[in-house]
Amino acid sequence: MTRQDSSNRAAHAPKVRARTTEAITAAVLEGLVDSGYDGMSIEAVARRAGVGKAAIYRRWCSKEEMVQKIVGDLAWSAVPIPDTGSLRGDIADYVAHAAELQKDMRTTRIIAEIGVAATRNVQLAQTFYKTMRLPRRKAGAEMLARAAERGELPEDIDTNLALDCLVALAYARPQSLTEAGELKAPYDQEQLVDVILTSLPACRRTSE
């Protein structure tokens, strides 16, 4: 092998590694949808990705670490922080983002599968909280703080209670299933915004 050949292979290696990682990532996400976390194995992921198990173990030491990293890196784990200048505008954007996320059946199923597995796995539960729940709560807390500074919410607002209300109505509300098998939000987004805006001022700290 010539020096030029070695140089070409070295330059090509990062692209090959990236494609392999993408194939494994896709296989993991498909496996979570099809088999769930508990039913998914390294062997099954390798077969689906068309790679050897060694390619997986070079990147992650276990199934748990692999799923934690891939879930943590998912684009949908990042939550935009609305800053429209008004509480109504911020809440409307927050609800709209949640609605878009819930339209994605694949993502919804992955989140559900990870959530169920997290009830039986402490480390996975911590990852689930850090990568999925915490960003949403942080985004909501910043919205509420700005609204309180503008006088749109009481200064003694109970942030945790208000966040529970906001996240539950925006993300955790039940959805109906259409005849075509698609999830559909049962409430109009504008109505949800009105309900949230009505309930938030009531979330105030109580004196001990």
At residue 150, the 3 state secondary structure works out as: coil
Position 5 confidence tier, pLDDT thresholds 50, 70, 90: very low
Report pLDDT for 163.
92
Distance, CA of 158 to CA of 156 (rounded, Å): 6
CA dist., res. 101 & res. 104, Å (int): 6
The letter for the amino acid at 187 is Y
**What domains are defined for the chain?**
3-73 (1.10.10.60), 75-202 (1.10.357.10)
- Whether residue 28 contacts residue 45, with contact meaning beta carbons closer than 8 Å, is answered with yes
User: Which position has the higher pLDDT, 80 or 167?
Assistant: 167
CA distance readout (Å), 55 to 9, 33, 44, 59, 66: 18, 22, 13, 7, 12
pLDDT tens for each residue of 170-202: 877 666 666 776 666 677 889 999 999 999 999
Residue linked to tokens 């934690």: 68
pLDDT greater than 90 at residue 169? no
Is the entire prediction scored with pTM above 0.95? Answer: no
Cβ count within 10 A of residue 50: 11
